[in-house]
Chains A and B, each alone.
Chain A
């Protein structure tokens, strides 16, 4: 018995000496649609930029592929994988993950609009719960988009506003934009976007020339159905300004904000902080560091509009036939 104890002790010591390699931290990203995949690419790029080699952190992606009814189930699955950090690709994903995580796993918002109004966080400075991240200010920047639209096209007076009344960021953005329109003395017409089909039907009723331009406010339908809606804008020959997320998808003349890729990259900072052990409640929600204006000259030529040098002065990226020019 004495010998058995001695050898057992020795085995325990030897086992203690052998330091098995620590598991790589797991980050699970939840996306409602693959159109938000560039955010994941940005997240990976951001992590590398912060000193984490591509294989230092495992990033798993769960996508609802446009079927929002599966989000809750996917959020539960993400939680059962016991990740170090959960990452939400947008607002609906953040709500699903917040419920699924139940305060156990920290959640990073990889670009979510109106985070305070939706109740995801208590305030930007003091998120309070187990969730923090990037508020992409889609709603707040809607006012600036409207101003920049007038800087690019000084003749614009009648603006069609497409907004999603089903989501708080849509309502928030409408409020902000209406106030901006009043200050800019613009005539704006809100158009509620409930479904893609309904929106397409209503847009098809408009005639070219009824409006000088259109402004897209944040909305899930507008995001996922951007390509289809762009067809109607093309028919109406409407210059459209929108969030930078829709760049290249929505047939926009100009976009202002932060690209999905940059949102993902900025969200990487939160993931790193959480991996370093900082509590989400102690990490203030950030707003975009550097919103940029992107102008598509091909669309301008197609629409036959002249762009003002004042607005063009802020345009960081100009899309031309020859390709992107910084």
Chain B
């Protein structure tokens, strides 16, 4: 059995797939790699823009927080402390009204003692004044500079920070508490809508602003991305691409990052679409390759089967010729060749029959002469002695028996000839090699005797039948004996031997003819190769023998040397009941 890659259709299919996949794979790999690189650049550009924008917004937010406090402090100065409580409250409420995200504002004296306080949510009326002297940001305020506290979370989880602005001449200060949640949430949510996530880290790297506030509550540290485009593990636990931007004045950092799966989603989508497209294209190519492979391979396979059939000597089949392309023309030429071979084979037979005709005529002539002589003698004696006397003596019966014998002899000769000349298909059958050899020798006997050639059949007793057809095997013997006789210029000998050799029967036809040189032996089985003079042979005898023997599952060899005769040997499988495959002749 041929392996699958030994078939032409498989090669055509493989060629189609390779030629479709290879360019696609190379193009796809370069394309996707370039796209990946470009996408990373785009994502980092977006991240950089978002980080810078948010950092600027936070910076502006802090300036907007401090500026009204500074204006109020600068405008009123120490008079703020000297104003009555209502006026102080009015001014502080004005601040609350005008500055979003301010939760409360307090007015402190130079010792940090609270003089007035207003709040957006708490009741401040009647509350005990607070002392800010020990607050972390008081030392800077006491020195006359603005101060910012760290971000803390209140009981509601709101990130709060204190902003302090000193009054002129260090007479006191204004301290405001601002909620950052609104600004963080809005910034994070707005940026998050585009797939970019914003994290805000304070000066210690602690997360203070995020779209996912649970991360802030967990007190996570924000990993700052490196300068290059290397993915890193984000505070969210995902692989991400990110950019960090400092917030001027605050020592904070804004990290804008895009989760890697989102960042690379277009590339993955492109890869998927490209892969799907390539697969679809490949499927089409495979289908077309299979169709073309079949179109190409089927005629060739038919030709191969036809050639095998012809090789076995079966010239009856014809292969479909198909289209007008090269394969169609090849099939047409093959059919023409097969027809010519069939005619040539028949011609070969007829040539052989022609050669036999004289011998056969002679063979038949003898019994006919005997019949004529007996008939004439019987007629004379009937006339002379009478029927009754001859009958009584038993002469009549003896004469008639001889006549019948001679007629059967003629009939046998003609039957053998007809059997040989007959064409047709038969199935394998058990054939006695020795019997066929002897019958053939009988047919050729007359010619052999004329030529002074002794033909001897030496078949081993009890030889098993072989798997063959009588007709084919007879033709093999006839061709070989005819060739042998042609090769013997004068008196000589042809010896046909048959011996069992394991599961085969080994047959040899040896002659004492002129023999052949090595070059002639090499070409002897080629069709139409002959060393005989024109008109004496077709050059198909040995090639037909070779085709028949190999077609029957046997093997044929030729050994010869100039002047030392030729031996043709062939093996045929012993007949087995199970091996009754049909064979065409």
Contact of B193 among A137, A272, A311 (CB under 8 A): A272
Pair A144/B193 contact, Cβ less than 8 Å: no
Pair A310/B123 contact, Cβ less than 8 Å: no
A173 vs chain B, min Cβ distance (A): 14
Residues of B within 8 A of A291 (CB): 120-121
Pair B277/A289 contact, Cβ less than 8 Å: no
Pair A283/B214 contact, Cβ less than 8 Å: yes
Q: List CB contacts (< 8 Å) of A254-309 with chain B.
A: 269, 272-273, 276, 278, 282-284, 286-287, 289-293, 308-309
A180-B186 Cα distance, complex, nearest whole Å: 33
A160-B122 Cα distance, complex, nearest whole Å: 21
Q: Any chain B CB within 8 A of the CB of A17?
A: yes
Pair B193/A314 contact, Cβ less than 8 Å: no
Given contacts A6-B283, A6-B287, A144-B122, contact A316 B97 (CB under 8 A): yes
Contact of A140 among B91, B121, B211 (CB under 8 A): B121
Of the stretches A7-15, A25-33, A222-230, A236-244, the one at the interface is A7-15
Q: Any chain B CB within 8 A of the CB of A131?
A: no
Whose C-beta in chain A lies nearest to the C-beta of B91?
A313
Pair B189/A269 contact, Cβ less than 8 Å: yes
B280 vs chain A, min Cβ distance (A): 5
Pair A52/B193 contact, Cβ less than 8 Å: yes
Pair B213/A283 contact, Cβ less than 8 Å: yes
Residues of B within 8 A of A273 (CB): 189, 192, 211-212
Residues of B within 8 A of A290 (CB): 100-101, 120, 182
A153-B307 Cα distance, complex, nearest whole Å: 119
Summarize B's interface: helix, strand, loop or mixed.
helix
Q: Any chain B CB within 8 A of the CB of A183?
A: yes
Residues of A within 8 A of B97 (CB): 292-293, 313-316
Pair A50/B212 contact, Cβ less than 8 Å: no
Q: Any chain B CB within 8 A of the CB of A209?
A: no
Q: Any chain A CB within 8 A of the CB of B89?
A: yes
Pair B212/A313 contact, Cβ less than 8 Å: no
A14 vs chain B, min Cβ distance (A): 6
Q: Any chain B CB within 8 A of the CB of A150?
A: yes
B306 vs chain A, min Cβ distance (A): 27
Residues of B within 8 A of A314 (CB): 93-94, 96-97, 118
Q: List CB contacts (< 8 Å) of B76-116 with chain A.
A: 86, 89-91, 93-94, 96-97, 100-101
Contact of B217 among A7, A125, A137, A311 (CB under 8 A): A125
Pair B121/A183 contact, Cβ less than 8 Å: no
Whose C-beta in chain A lies nearest to the C-beta of B85?
A310
Q: Any chain B CB within 8 A of the CB of A78?
A: no
Pair B156/A276 contact, Cβ less than 8 Å: no
Pair A272/B189 contact, Cβ less than 8 Å: yes
A146-189 interface code vs B (CB 8 A; 1 in, 0 out): 11001100000000000000000000000000001001100000
Residues of A within 8 A of B283 (CB): 6, 9-10, 13
A3-B287 Cα distance, complex, nearest whole Å: 8
Q: Any chain A CB within 8 A of the CB of B279?
A: yes
Pair B125/A184 contact, Cβ less than 8 Å: yes
Q: Any chain A CB within 8 A of the CB of B158?
A: yes
Q: Any chain A CB within 8 A of the CB of B490?
A: no
A107-B185 Cα distance, complex, nearest whole Å: 19
A151-B96 Cα distance, complex, nearest whole Å: 15
Q: List CB contacts (< 8 Å) of A182-205 with chain B.
A: 183-184
Given contacts A289-B181, A313-B97, contact A10 B284 (CB under 8 A): yes
B235 vs chain A, min Cβ distance (A): 14
A141-B123 Cα distance, complex, nearest whole Å: 10
Contact of B125 among A10, A183, A287, A316 (CB under 8 A): A183
Q: Any chain A CB within 8 A of the CB of B440?
A: no
Pair A289/B93 contact, Cβ less than 8 Å: no
Pair A16/B276 contact, Cβ less than 8 Å: yes
Given contacts A6-B286, A10-B283, A183-B126, contact A141 B121 (CB under 8 A): yes
Q: Any chain A CB within 8 A of the CB of B273?
A: yes
B257 vs chain A, min Cβ distance (A): 14
Q: Any chain A CB within 8 A of the CB of B394?
A: no
B161 vs chain A, min Cβ distance (A): 15
Residues of A within 8 A of B19 (CB): none
A184-B127 Cα distance, complex, nearest whole Å: 10
Q: List CB contacts (< 8 Å) of A99-130 with chain B.
A: 124-126
Given contacts A273-B211, A284-B214, A284-B217, contact A184 B280 (CB under 8 A): no
Contact of A51 among B123, B158, B193 (CB under 8 A): B193
Pair B157/A50 contact, Cβ less than 8 Å: no
A273-B198 Cα distance, complex, nearest whole Å: 13
Residues of A within 8 A of B214 (CB): 278, 282-284
Pair B89/A310 contact, Cβ less than 8 Å: yes
A282-B94 Cα distance, complex, nearest whole Å: 36
Pair A313/B182 contact, Cβ less than 8 Å: no
Residues of A within 8 A of B461 (CB): none
Pair A278/B125 contact, Cβ less than 8 Å: no
B188-204 interface code vs A (CB 8 A; 1 in, 0 out): 01101110000000000
Given contacts A50-B189, A273-B211, A290-B101, contact A310 B279 (CB under 8 A): no
A13-B96 Cα distance, complex, nearest whole Å: 62
Pair B193/A124 contact, Cβ less than 8 Å: no
A199-B286 Cα distance, complex, nearest whole Å: 84
Q: Any chain B CB within 8 A of the CB of A40?
A: no
Given contacts A124-B157, A284-B213, A289-B179, contact A313 B100 (CB under 8 A): no
Q: A51-B190, A144-B120 are in contact. List 20 more A-B contacts (CB 8 A).
A: A3-B287, A13-B279, A19-B269, A49-B186, A50-B190, A125-B156, A140-B121, A150-B125, A183-B125, A276-B192, A284-B156, A286-B185, A287-B158, A289-B179, A290-B120, A308-B86, A309-B90, A313-B90, A313-B97, A316-B97
In the A-B complex, the 8 residue pairs with the smallest Cβ-Cβ separation, listed nearest first, are: A51-B193, A282-B214, A313-B93, A289-B182, A17-B276, A314-B93, A10-B283, A313-B90
Q: Point out residues on B near A: beta carbons under 8 Å.
A: 86, 89-91, 93-94, 96-97, 100-101, 118-126, 156-158, 179, 181-182, 185-186, 189-190, 192-194, 211-214, 217, 269, 273, 276-277, 279-280, 283-284, 286-287
Jot down 7 A-B pairs with beta carbons below 8 A, ordered by A.
A13-B276, A14-B276, A144-B119, A184-B125, A283-B214, A289-B100, A315-B97
